[in-house]
């Protein structure tokens, strides 16, 4: 690397050079649009909010415009370009350099440690330092909210994260505040600073950031929530960053759509280094320029800047932050940066980037350029700059030594925080079944779910309900003229009328949008109860469910949580449902640690289990079988408003002594029909309705199998790899000595549900299939 003195010589080649003075012709061409943009050079008054004082950490002092320090010049002053320091003082600029250099040296230290096999992964923020320090100066740690991505090392330092805290992450130490040794390095998270735990999938943070901002928006609208939360501020901003590769993902567009539609104070920082690992931006993005594609989004302020230039970055970000704080909508800052190192230490950029391109990037290195500028302007000299470097080198070395000596998490802590340690939905606290007093006319499952939602929303103003078509009427002016939708199955009918559009509202037709926003809201303390219209369409949200919702608590070691309830109509036996309205793939979700999965078979259970789901502290997938919504046989009178059923507690539907049937959902009634037929043949069948699939009631299964010594597991999923396979395997493994016959399974065929009624009947398990299994098992 060239020294700052050598770069200074390059800077002085032209008296009228702009931001890219030291760059090659190729680099100039690459950033021409950004350098020439008015937003990159316009001068605005300093923000009114003071920043903390300069200390030995990289946090800068308050913004006080000061005159440029005087210094001897080798050229006549009249010929010098008058620089705009954006109101930054000399002390602030020195502090900026310090933070930028600190960030780079931590990268370098981690690379060194990886080469020594003392850490296990490294991904750097090199080349992004200037724009990230600028962002950290203009935003407020512990006040604003942050959803960074893995290049944001310099931002986190500027916000107050220490070198030791970052290096604790690199070595996987238990004291690491980012994830306590559970995630890769550079997966940022810090409870005190409002840096929400980051994951590896790129782009999933965007919808959560929108949901985080939306929580503030909703709290302002809901009068019952005024003064209930401490960490909500009228002018808070939610920062979220992304790389140029992430702009190709659908969730980026979904996030922009909702942020603009609701005019949310979300600051999107696009750190465009030209590559998504090895794929250049022109391959990723139509026209190679994302900000030009989105410039016509309503309420979106678009800023473009050279992200390797501190002053250009600071000016653009200041305008963007002011736009957000003034409630004028979201802002996108498109910063052109460089990537002087490979994507990560698992990548070798020499395989796809020519030497001349890499050299051009190095000439735009933000640290070298800014150091040269400080000397050029007489704000420091080479000796003092070297003193800063030496001090930082010692600081980083000491932090690395301390981190390496810090213990890793104990092996026995691996299963901690998969679920909440504060609220146990399997406990007796949630068991209100004994001697429950029912009243009123019998209602269907739809009726009792609707009643539960009404009573819970009245009890807890934090509950927010949204999804596709769930409102009565989005255009409130029409509410008095129409009956209202209330969901395609009418489960959420009249909720909007009673509780208002701030708490009950329609979402875009985008499942990831629904779940991602709900995660962001839940992180802020709201209680989203969202609806996915059909189980068959839940898959676009799978990234958010599997990698974010279920994992958030565990990957942050309980620093963050998102207790979202997802209501999902599921299942077949509806004539005409066919392939895309009749799926039942519950085993896909029951094998996800951290996610509770519930599946009631009747109206009363639906009411009690949903109330438990809402009051528990974990994410819950609440499955509602469409065929069971309005069946007369599963109706119930209404329970009290505090009626709950604990998770992991099965229900004995029918006592028996010869054969046990372990089942749930629509197969409960079909098993009951088959059991009554078997009784005429002298076979006594016991039926266990699991009700809760994750967790499930193993004790009830054990007791039943020990009593009957024969067992059938029946479910609507496909036979192969279905939910019943786990139950059958565990029975065979742990209860083998109590079995008088092999465990038998009854399930759907290993195919899809067809439209033609005759085909559907053949594919899905019927009462006759259960009856046949009972007869065969009894003869064994």
272: enclosing H helix or E strand: strand 266-272
Q: What is the pLDDT at residue 63?
A: 37
Q: What's the rounded Cα separation, in Å, for the pair 530 and 523?
A: 15
Q: What is the pLDDT at residue 8?
A: 36
Q: What's the rounded Cα separation, in Å, for the pair 290 and 141?
A: 28
Q: What is the pLDDT at residue 31?
A: 53
Q: What's the rounded Cα separation, in Å, for the pair 368 and 384?
A: 15
Question: Considering only CA atoms, which of 122, 86, 232, 110 is closest in space to residue 164?
Answer: 110
| Residue 629, both tokens | 């919504």
Say yes or no to pLDDT of 504 above 70.
Answer: yes
346 conformational bin, left if phi > 0, alpha if psi -120 to 50, beta if neither: alpha
| Residue 60, both tokens | 């800068």
Say yes or no to pLDDT of 69 above 80.
Answer: no
Question: Considering only CA atoms, which of 62, 290, 19, 188 is closest in space to residue 556?
Answer: 188
Taking the CA atoms of 283, 286, 291 and 297 in sequence, report the sign of the dihedral they define: negative
Q: What's the rounded Cα separation, in Å, for the pair 495 and 501?
A: 9
CA distances from 661 to 628, 654, 682, 709 (A): 19, 10, 16, 11
Say yes or no to pLDDT of 61 above 70.
Answer: no
pTM for this predicted structure: 0.90
Mean pLDDT (whole number) for 188-200: 97
CA 409 vs. chain centroid, Å, equals: 24
Determine what percent of the chain is predicted with pLDDT higher than 90: 87
DSSP 280: E
Question: Considering only CA atoms, which of 136, 125, 50 is closest in space to residue 310?
Answer: 136
Query: Are 295 and 359 in contact, with CB atoms under 8 Å apart?
Result: no
Q: If you count DSSP H runs as helices and E runs as strands, how many of each does the chain have, helices first?
A: 27, 21
Burial class (CB in 10 A: 0-12, 13-18, 19+), 200: middle
| Residue 95, both tokens | 């502090």
Q: What is the pLDDT at residue 32?
A: 53
Mean pLDDT (whole number) for 505-520: 97
Q: Give the residue numbers marked as catalytic.
A: 581
Query: What's the chain's Rg over C-alpha atoms?
Result: 30
Q: What's the rounded Cα separation, in Å, for the pair 359 and 380?
A: 27
The pLDDT tens digits of the residues spanning 322-347 come to 999 999 999 999 999 999 998 998 98
CA distances from 160 to 92, 189, 459 (A): 15, 12, 39
Burial class (CB in 10 A: 0-12, 13-18, 19+), 467: buried
596: enclosing H helix or E strand: strand 596-598
CA distances from 469 to 417, 465, 539 (A): 35, 11, 18
Q: What's the rounded Cα separation, in Å, for the pair 777 and 771?
A: 10
Pairing type for strands 596-598 and 692-694 reads antiparallel
Mean pLDDT (whole number) for 230-246: 95
CA 662 vs. chain centroid, Å, equals: 35
Mean pLDDT (whole number) for 55-79: 40
Q: What is the pLDDT at residue 306?
A: 97
Burial class (CB in 10 A: 0-12, 13-18, 19+), 737: exposed
Determine what percent of the chain is predicted with pLDDT higher than 70: 89
Cα distance from N-terminal residue to C-terminal residue, the chain:
79
pLDDT range class, residue 229, cuts 50, 70, 90: confident
DSSP 67: P
DSSP 546: I
Q: What is the pLDDT at residue 84?
A: 86
Q: What's the rounded Cα separation, in Å, for the pair 632 and 589?
A: 29
Query: Are 273 and 329 in contact, with CB atoms under 8 Å apart?
Result: no
Question: Considering only CA atoms, which of 235, 136, 120, 124 is closest in space to residue 195?
Answer: 136
How big is the chain, counted in residues?
780
Average pLDDT over all residues of the chain: 90
DSSP 525: T
Question: Considering only CA atoms, which of 692, 473, 536 is closest in space to residue 600?
Answer: 692
Q: What is the pLDDT at residue 30?
A: 45
Taking the CA atoms of 384, 388, 394 and 397 in sequence, report the sign of the dihedral they define: negative
Say yes or no to pLDDT of 458 above 60.
Answer: yes
Q: What is the pLDDT at residue 12?
A: 37
Say yes or no to pLDDT of 27 above 50.
Answer: no
DSSP H helical ranges for 264-376: 281-284, 290-294, 310-325, 355-363, 366-376
Query: Are 267 and 237 in contact, with CB atoms under 8 Å apart?
Result: yes
Q: What is the pLDDT at residue 228?
A: 82
Q: What is the pLDDT at residue 193?
A: 98
| Residue 655, both tokens | 């006592």
Query: Are 209 and 238 in contact, with CB atoms under 8 Å apart?
Result: yes
Neighbours of 351 (CB within 10 A): 8
Q: What is the pLDDT at residue 230?
A: 84
Q: What's the rounded Cα separation, in Å, for the pair 400 and 164?
A: 7
Say yes or no to pLDDT of 576 above 90.
Answer: no
Q: What is the pLDDT at residue 733?
A: 97
Phi then psi for 709, rounded to 5 degrees?
65, 5
Q: What is the pLDDT at residue 59?
A: 37
pLDDT range class, residue 741, cuts 50, 70, 90: very high
Q: What is the pLDDT at residue 81?
A: 60
Mean pLDDT (whole number) for 645-649: 98
| Residue 758, both tokens | 């005759």
Q: Which residue is it, tokens 């009328």?
A: 497
Phi then psi for 622, rounded to 5 degrees?
-105, 105
104: enclosing H helix or E strand: helix 90-115
Omega before 469 within 30 of 0, i.e. cis: no
Question: Considering only CA atoms, which of 231, 61, 59, 314 is closest in space to residue 161?
Answer: 59
Mean pLDDT (whole number) for 707-727: 97
The pLDDT tens digits of the residues spanning 368-418 come to 999 999 999 999 999 999 999 999 999 999 999 999 999 999 999 999 999
Question: Considering only CA atoms, which of 201, 348, 205, 206 is closest in space to residue 277?
Answer: 348
Strand segments (E) across 135-278: 145-147, 238-243, 266-272, 275-276
Of 35-39, 439-443, 473-477, minimum mean pLDDT range: 35-39
β-partners of residue 565 are: 529, 620
Q: What is the pLDDT at residue 717?
A: 94
The pLDDT tens digits of the residues spanning 461-491 come to 999 999 999 999 999 999 999 999 999 999 9
pLDDT range class, residue 351, cuts 50, 70, 90: very high
The pLDDT tens digits of the residues spanning 591-640 come to 999 999 999 999 999 999 999 999 999 999 999 999 999 999 999 999 99
Taking the CA atoms of 415, 418, 423 and 427 in sequence, report the sign of the dihedral they define: negative
Question: Considering only CA atoms, which of 127, 89, 92 is closest in space to residue 107?
Answer: 127
Q: In angstroms, how far apart are the furthest CA atoms of the chain?
A: 111
Phi then psi for 527, rounded to 5 degrees?
-125, 85
DSSP 193: T
Mean pLDDT (whole number) for 106-120: 96
DSSP 254: H
């Amino acid at each position: 690397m060239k020294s700052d003195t050598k770069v200074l010589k390059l800077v002085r080649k032209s008296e009228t050079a702009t931001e890219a003075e030291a760059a090659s012709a190729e680099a100039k061409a690459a950033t021409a649009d950004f350098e020439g943009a008015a937003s990159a050079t316009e001068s605005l008054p300093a923000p009114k909010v003071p920043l903390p004082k300069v200390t030995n950490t990289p946090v800068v002092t308050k913004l006080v415009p000061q005159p440029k320090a005087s210094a001897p010049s080798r050229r006549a002053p009249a010929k010098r370009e008058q620089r705009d320091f954006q109101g930054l003082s000399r002390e602030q600029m020195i502090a900026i350099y310090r933070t930028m250099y600190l960030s780079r040296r931590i990268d370098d230290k981690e690379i060194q440690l990886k080469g020594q096999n003392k850490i296990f992964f490294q991904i750097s923020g090199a080349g992004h330092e200037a724009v990230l320090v600028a962002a950290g100066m203009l935003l407020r740690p512990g006040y604003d909210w942050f959803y960074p991505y893995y290049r944001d090392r310099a931002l986190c330092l500027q916000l107050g994260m220490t070198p030791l805290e970052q290096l604790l992450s690199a070595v996987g130490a238990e004291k690491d505040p980012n994830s306590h040794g559970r995630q890769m390095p550079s997966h940022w998270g810090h409870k005190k600073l409002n840096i929400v735990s980051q994951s590896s999938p790129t782009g999933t943070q965007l919808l959560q950031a929108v949901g985080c901002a939306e929580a503030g928006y909703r709290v302002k609208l809901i009068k019952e929530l005024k003064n209930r939360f401490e960490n909500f501020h009228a002018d808070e901003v939610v920062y979220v960053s992304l790389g140029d590769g992430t702009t190709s993902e659908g969730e980026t567009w979904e996030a922009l759509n909702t942020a603009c539609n609701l005019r949310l104070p979300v600051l999107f920082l696009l750190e465009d280094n030209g590559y998504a690992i090895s794929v250049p931006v022109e391959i990723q993005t139509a026209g190679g320029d994302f900000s030009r594609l989105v410039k016509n989004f309503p309420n979106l302020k678009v800023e473009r800047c050279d992200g390797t230039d501190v002053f250009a970055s600071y000016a653009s970000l200041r305008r963007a932050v002011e736009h957000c704080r003034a409630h004028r909508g979201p802002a996108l800052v498109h910063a052109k940066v460089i990537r002087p190192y490979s994507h990560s230490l698992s990548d070798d950029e020499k395989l796809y980037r020519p030497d001349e391109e890499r050299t051009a990037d190095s000439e735009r290195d933000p640290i070298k350029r800014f150091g040269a500028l400080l000397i050029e302007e007489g704000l420091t000299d080479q000796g003092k700059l070297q003193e800063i470097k030496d001090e930082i080198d010692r600081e980083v070395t000491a932090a690395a030594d301390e981190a390496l000596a810090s213990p890793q998490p104990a092996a026995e802590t691996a299963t901690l925080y998969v679920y909440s340690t504060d609220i146990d939905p399997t406990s007796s606290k949630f068991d209100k079944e004994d001697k429950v007093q029912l009243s009123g006319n019998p209602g269907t499952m739809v009726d009792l779910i609707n009643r539960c939602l009404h009573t819970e929303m009245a009890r807890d103003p934090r509950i927010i309900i949204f999804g596709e078509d769930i409102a009565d009427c989005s255009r409130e002016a029409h509410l008095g003229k129409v009956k209202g939708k209330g969901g395609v199955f009418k489960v959420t009918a009249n909720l909007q009328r009673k509780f208002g559009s701030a708490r009950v509202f329609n979402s875009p037709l985008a499942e990831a949008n629904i779940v991602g926003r709900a995660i962001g809201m839940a992180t802020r303390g709201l209680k989203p109860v969202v609806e996915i219209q059909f189980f068959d369409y839940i898959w676009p949200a799978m990234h958010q469910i599997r990698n974010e919702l279920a994992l958030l608590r565990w990957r942050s070691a309980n620093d963050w949580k998102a207790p979202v309830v997802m209501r999902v109509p599921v299942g077949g036996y509806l004539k005409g449902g066919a392939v895309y309205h009749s799926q039942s793939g519950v085993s896909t979700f029951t094998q996800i640690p951290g996610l509770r999965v519930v599946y009631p078979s009747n109206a009363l259970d639906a009411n009690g289990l949903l109330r438990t789901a809402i009051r528990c502290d974990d994410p819950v997938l609440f499955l509602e079988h469409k065929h069971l919504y309005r069946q007369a046989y599963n109706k119930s009178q209404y329970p009290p408003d505090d009626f709950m059923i604990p998770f992991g507690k099965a229900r004995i539907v029918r006592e028996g002594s010869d054969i046990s049937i372990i089942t749930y959902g629509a197969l409960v009634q079909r098993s009951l029909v088959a059991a009554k037929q078997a009784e005429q043949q002298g076979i006594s069948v016991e039926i266990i309705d699991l009700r809760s699939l994750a967790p499930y009631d193993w004790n009830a299964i054990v007791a039943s199998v020990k009593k009957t010594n024969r067992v059938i597991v029946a479910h609507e999923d496909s036979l192969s790899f279905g939910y019943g396979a786990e139950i059958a395997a565990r029975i065979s493994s742990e209860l083998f000595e109590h079995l008088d016959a092999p465990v038998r399974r009854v399930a759907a065929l290993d195919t899809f549900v067809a439209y033609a009624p005759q085909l559907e009947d053949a594919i899905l398990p019927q009462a006759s299939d259960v009856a046949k299994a009972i007869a065969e098992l009894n003869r064994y």
